[in-house]
Amino acid sequence: MLPQFILDWNTGIGCFKQNNYGLKDYDGYGRPVFSGWIFNGFDTRDKKMLRADKAHYENINEAIESLSESLQKTIKDYNPVMEYTDDDFNIGQVEDMNVLIQNIIWQSVPASKLAAHKQVKDLTGDRAAWSASQIELIGKVENQINDIAQNIINNFE
């Protein structure tokens, strides 16, 4: 997507500049940089990622490595890959939220605040208390999202 976006941006800015040739306000834009990826939707048992999810993570990680190399070969005008301290470009991870995700949507509530609301079982409004494991998952997801946010704050300009 990045090479196509850059091509589209350059076409659009070229047309814009034909009529606004003196305007330089947008000259620094249109140079997106790949900054990393977030692994989500995986399950854990006993605080370990399941083997299938671990294999999926490793496959994505290999693809990301290939992607960063390809972007650097394809885009010559600037470095399209952020220089990042983590070799695998993984910004963070968020577990599979299962039924939490539908409640986030149905109740318009962030994942970290779900414990303060009763669970909506379906759109008819039937509500129930969260189970202990769901409350634990809400806490884990909140921590994972906070870790990702802190990583972004610490490592990205």
103 shares its domain with 76:
no
125: enclosing H helix or E strand: none
Q: What is the pTM of this model?
A: 0.76
Task: Give me the pLDDT at residue 143, please.
Answer: 93
**Total count of domains within the chain:** 3
58 shares its domain with 103:
no
Residue-wise pLDDT tens digits, 83-138? 876 667 899 999 888 888 889 999 999 988 999 999 987 777 778 899 998 998 89
Alpha carbon distances (Å) from 26 to 12, 22, 68: 11, 11, 26
Total residues found in the chain within this entry: 157
Strand partners, 48: 45
44 shares its domain with 27:
no
Task: Give me the pLDDT at residue 86, please.
Answer: 65
CB 27 within 8 A of CB 148: no
Task: Give me the pLDDT at residue 122, please.
Answer: 73
DSSP code at position 81: B
Which tokens belong to 43?
């399950």
Residue-wise pLDDT tens digits, 130-152? 999 899 889 999 999 999 999 88
CB 114 within 8 A of CB 138: yes
Task: Report d(CA 79, CA 50) in Å as an integer.
Answer: 36
107 shares its domain with 87:
no
Task: Give me the pLDDT at residue 157, please.
Answer: 65
149: enclosing H helix or E strand: helix 132-155
Query: Does residue 13 have a pLDDT over 70?
Result: yes
49 shares its domain with 91:
yes
Q: Which of 109, 110, 98, 103 is nearest to 128 (CA)?
A: 103
Task: Give me the pLDDT at residue 42, please.
Answer: 85
Residue-wise pLDDT tens digits, 14-73? 999 999 989 999 988 988 989 899 999 888 777 788 889 999 999 999 999 999 999 999
Contacts of 42-51 spanning 24+ positions with Cβ under 8 A: 42/93, 42/95, 42/96, 43/95, 43/96, 44/95
For the chain, the first-to-last Cα distance in angstroms comes to 22
Domain holding 117, by residue range, is: 97-157
